[in-house]
């Protein structure tokens, strides 16, 4: 009986010790996380250093006051922690914002990051794909295919819209050169919208021959094509989601090339009647595994 009592006492002591340690640890932890008064933006500081390659960057919270760090990387990613890694596969300018939260409130500051190198695997190789500025639009060459008066293109609000004269079968394209690597798979996509066309088509070419004014592509060429034949009603969204083989529309958004070098990405629209027009933006040409 004595041993049983001693064992019970020992277990009780151990339990009390564990509870005490837990409480002490909890109190210490609470004390550490007891944050200061309302910070000011000038106290919220960001340090950016190079990461493992040209597309990864290490971001550190080096603020002069304690707080919990929340990051908006400007590319759709939101992270937390005093040190985070940011990945920027696309050439662009990003606003990196750090928000420091204390028990008294919060404050934010930001820096601008200019990504000048695309990631060779995941980066968008298209220049000016957002069509948002005059500099974006300048990356593209307009190609007249079958006439100079029956088709037109307008760049506005970040979209390119191709229209034509009704019953004219007018068609038009824009293109730009892109450097590719032999054997690498590339995915082509863009955002697309139309209120409807009559007997129209929309094609994306990735060609080894440079486009020529007033000449339509023919013959054996390296190409990925998403085409619309016949009447099409209102459509909008990512092109790869709208038009696909299961919908009965010829499509193939993955392309490879036998040799490294320059190809020309061309986007073409035409119809018997484009009606309200076909619009596109957010043009992407990315390497895939």
pLDDT at residue 243 in the model: 66
pLDDT classification of 37: cutoffs 50, 70, 90: confident
How many Å apart are CA 18 and CA 12, to the nearest integer? 10
Task: Domain 41-115: give its CATH superfamily.
Answer: Immunoglobulins (2.60.40.10)
Q: Which residue has the tokens 């009606």?
A: 275
Q: At residue 125, does pLDDT exceed 90?
A: yes
pLDDT classification of 219: cutoffs 50, 70, 90: low
DSSP for 206-250, written as a single string = EESS---TT----SS-----B---S-B--EEEEHHHHS-GGGT--
CB of 200 within 8 A of CB of 269? Answer: yes
Average pLDDT over residues 259-279: 93
Average pLDDT over residues 56-66: 96
Average pLDDT over residues 164-179: 94
Q: Which pTM was predicted?
A: 0.71
pLDDT digits (tens, 9 = 90+) for 40-60: 999 999 999 999 999 999 999
Of 213, 197, 191, residue with least CA distance to 269: 197
Task: Domain 134-288: give its CATH superfamily.
Answer: Galactose-binding domain-like (2.60.120.260)
Average pLDDT over residues 7-32: 39
Q: Assess whether the region 41-115 and the region 134-288 belong to the same CATH fold.
A: no
The Cβ-side half-sphere exposure at 4, using a 13 Å CA radius, reads 1
Name every residue whose Cβ is closer than 8 Å to that of residue 221 and which is 6 or more positions away in sequence: 205, 207, 208, 209
Give the residue extent of every domain in the chain. Answer: 41-115, 134-288
Average pLDDT over residues 145-169: 93
Average pLDDT over residues 145-162: 93
């Amino acid at each position: 009986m004595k041993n049983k009592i001693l064992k019970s006492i020992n277990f009780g002591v151990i339990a009390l010790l564990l509870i005490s340690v837990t409480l002490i640890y909890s109190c210490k932890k609470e004390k550490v996380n007891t944050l200061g008064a309302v910070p000011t933006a000038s106290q919220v500081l960001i340090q950016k250093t190079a990461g493992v390659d040209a597309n990864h960057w290490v971001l550190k919270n080096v603020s002069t006051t304690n707080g919990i760090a929340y990051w908006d990387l400007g590319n759709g990613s939101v992270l937390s922690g005093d040190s985070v890694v940011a990945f920027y596969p696309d050439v662009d300018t990003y606003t990196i914002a750090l928000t420091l939260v204390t028990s008294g409130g919060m404050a934010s500051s930001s820096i601008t990051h200019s990504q000048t190198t695309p990631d060779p695997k995941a980066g968008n190789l298209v220049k000016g794909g957002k069509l948002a500025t005059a500099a974006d639009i300048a990356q593209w060459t307009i190609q007249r295919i079958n006439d100079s008066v029956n088709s037109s293109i307008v760049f506005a609000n970040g979209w390119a819209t191709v229209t034509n004269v009704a019953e004219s079968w007018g068609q038009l394209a824009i293109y730009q050169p892109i450097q590719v690597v032999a054997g690498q798979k590339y995915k082509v996509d863009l955002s697309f919208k139309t209120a409807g066309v009559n007997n129209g088509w929309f094609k994306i070419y990735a060609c080894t021959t440079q486009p020529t004014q007033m000449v339509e592509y023919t013959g054996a060429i390296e190409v990925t094509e998403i085409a619309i034949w016949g009447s099409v009603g209102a459509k909008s969204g990512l092109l790869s989601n709208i038009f696909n083989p299961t919908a009965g529309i010829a499509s193939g958004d993955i392309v490879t090339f036998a040799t490294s070098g320059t190809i020309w990405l061309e986007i073409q629209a035409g119809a018997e009647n484009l009606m309200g027009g076909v619009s596109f933006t957010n043009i992407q040409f990315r390497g895939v595994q």
